[in-house]
Amino acid sequence: MYCLAQEAQPQLPQGLFQEDSVKIGQEVNFLFFYRHAATEEIIFPDSTYNFAPFEYVNRRYFPTRTRNGISHDSVVYTLRTFSIAPVQTLALPVFKLQDQDTVNITALPAEIYLRQLVKGPASLAQLKDQTQLAPIPERFNFAYWLIAAGFLVLVAVLVWILFGKKIIIRYRLYTLQKHHQSFIAKFNAYIDRFNKSESLQIVEQAITLWKNYLTTLEGNAINSFTTREIAAYYNDDEDVTTALRLFDKAIYGNIVSDKSSETIIAFFLLHHFADRRYEFVKDLTRNAATIQNPVQLV
pLDDT tens, residue by residue, 122-132: 555 565 666 67
**Which residues partner with 55 through β-bridges?**
80
Q: Residue 8 — very low, low, confident or very high, per pLDDT cuts 50/70/90?
A: very low
Query: What average pLDDT does range 225-244 have in this prediction?
Result: 89
Distances (CA, A) of 81 to 32, 37, 86, 182: 18, 34, 11, 22
Query: How far apart are the C-alpha atoms of 96 and 98, rounded to whole Å?
Result: 6
Nearest to 49 by CA among 113, 100, 95: 95
The DSSP-derived string for 81-146 is E----SEEEE--EEEEEETTEEEEEEPPPEEEEE---S-SPPPPPP---------------HHHHH
Of 130 and 32, the structure prediction assigns the larger pLDDT to 32
Domain ranges of the chain: 8-114, 163-286
pLDDT score recorded for residue 255: 59
The CATH number of the structural domain formed by 8-114 is 2.60.40.10
Query: How far apart are the C-alpha atoms of 94 and 14, rounded to whole Å?
Result: 10
Half-sphere exposure of 118 (CA within 13 A, CB side): 6
Of 188 and 122, the structure prediction assigns the larger pLDDT to 188
Whether 14 contacts 33, CB under 8 Å: yes
Output the average pLDDT for the chain.
84
Q: Residue 9 — very low, low, confident or very high, per pLDDT cuts 50/70/90?
A: low
b vs e for 245-274, b when ≥16 Cβ sit within 10 Å of the residue's Cβ?
Answer: ebbebbbeeeebeebeebbbebbbbbbebb
Is the pLDDT at 80 greater than 70? The verdict is: yes
Whether 262 contacts 164, CB under 8 Å: no
List pLDDT tens digits, range 243-290. 888 888 877 776 554 556 788 888 899 999 999 999 999 998 888 745
DSSP-based three-state secondary structure for 180: helix
Query: How far apart are the C-alpha atoms of 111 and 20, rounded to whole Å?
Result: 8
Is the pLDDT at 193 greater than 60? The verdict is: yes
DSSP-based three-state secondary structure for 63: strand
The runs of H, that is alpha helices, within 219-259 are 227-233, 238-253
Half-sphere exposure of 171 (CA within 13 A, CB side): 7
Q: Residue 293 — very low, low, confident or very high, per pLDDT cuts 50/70/90?
A: very low
Of 10 and 186, the structure prediction assigns the larger pLDDT to 186
pLDDT score recorded for residue 114: 92
Q: Residue 186 — very low, low, confident or very high, per pLDDT cuts 50/70/90?
A: very high
Query: CB atoms < 10 A from the CB of 109, how many?
Result: 11
Query: What average pLDDT does range 233-247 have in this prediction?
Result: 89
Residue 260: which H helix or E strand, with range? helix 260-286
pTM of this prediction exceeds 0.85: no
Whether 87 contacts 20, CB under 8 Å: no
